[in-house]
Amino acid sequence: MTGTLTIAGLGPGNDALVTPEVTAALEAATDVIGYIPYVARVPQRPGLNLHPSDNRVELDRALHALRLAADGARVVVVSSGDPGVFAMASAIFEAVEKHPDFLETDIRVLPGITAMLAAAASAGAPLGHDFCAINLSDNLKPWSQVEHRLRMAARGDFAMAFYNPRSKSRPHQFAEALTILREECGMDRLIIFARAISTPDEVIKTVTLGEATPEMADMRTVVLVGNSATRRLGRYVYTPRSAL
């Protein structure tokens, strides 16, 4: 008996930003699996089993989902934002690669609005030209690789979006990231701190790199850095689409 496995993005926080496709998948699900605060966003109902788990057990969570689907369940694995951006879609396929018996599982990935896009929309259009996204956490890669990618992105004059900029376990690293950005981009480059985006607690703060401090970011913050052409326009920030 074979069920289905859907990997769905719940958007950045506001339920209005959950896509109808994801809502339909949740309504049809027998089981929902994910990180504790994400599963908490899914309303309980008869016939639905919720499986919340801790943040650093992605592969265990993926195997659990695959086994339930193999037993005939209609499983939805939830992530915040988009499941393919630093989230569970990659973990599911990594688990399948390690356990090829699951290769025939019916897997669908449903996109969601990721935090950098919601933050950019609130700020204006800071990602209007070429941009890149970098996860500043060194949980799954060495910090030296983060530093290298920061320098290369800055030298390529990309606008940048940073996920997981600063946590209680690594409060010093975002200060190091700011130092690298100042060395590569100068002090006048615009940087946007978007906290709790799309929720009632949303705060958007735009400063220059010279004014930025590490304490402006935490794990609920997405940080956007403009390229050399990014500019303010009243209360908005935008990057022109024309070639630089």
Helix axes 143-155, 173-185, angle to 10 degrees: 20
Q: Is 146 part of any domain?
A: yes
Indicate whether 46 pLDDT > 90.
Answer: yes
Q: Is 244 part of any domain?
A: no
- As a whole number, mean pLDDT of residues 208-216 equals 96
Listed residues 113, 144, 165: the one ending a domain: 113
- As a whole number, mean pLDDT of residues 143-156 equals 97
Q: Which residues of 212-232 are buried (b: 16+ CB within 10 A; e: fewer)?
A: bebebbbebbbbbbbbebbee
Indicate whether 1 pLDDT > 70.
Answer: no
The per-residue pLDDT for range 179-196, each reduced to its tens digit, is: 999 999 999 999 999 999
- Are 103 and 21 in a shared domain? yes
**Confidence at residue 244, expressed as pLDDT on a 0 to 100 scale:** 56
Q: What is the spatial order of strands in the sheet that 106-110 belongs to?
A: 49-53, 31-35, 74-79, 4-9, 106-110
Q: What is the CATH number of the domain that holds 28?
A: 3.40.1010.10
Q: Is 243 part of any domain?
A: no
- Are 121 and 109 in a shared domain? no
The per-residue pLDDT for range 49-89, each reduced to its tens digit, is: 999 998 778 899 999 999 999 999 999 999 999 999 999 99
Tokens read off for 205: 């703060």
Listed residues 113, 135, 161: the one ending a domain: 113
The per-residue pLDDT for range 22-32, each reduced to its tens digit, is: 999 999 999 99
What is the percent of the chain with per-residue pLDDT over 90, rounded to a whole number?
Answer: 90
pLDDT band at 129 (very low <50, low <70, confident <90, very high): very high
- Are 55 and 79 in a shared domain? yes
Q: Is 101 part of any domain?
A: yes
**In total, how many domains does the chain have?**
2
- Are 148 and 218 in a shared domain? yes
Q: What is the CATH number of the domain that holds 193?
A: 3.30.950.10
Indicate whether 233 pLDDT > 60.
Answer: yes
Q: What is this structure's pTM?
A: 0.91
- Are 36 and 122 in a shared domain? no
Domain holding 154, by residue range, is 116-238
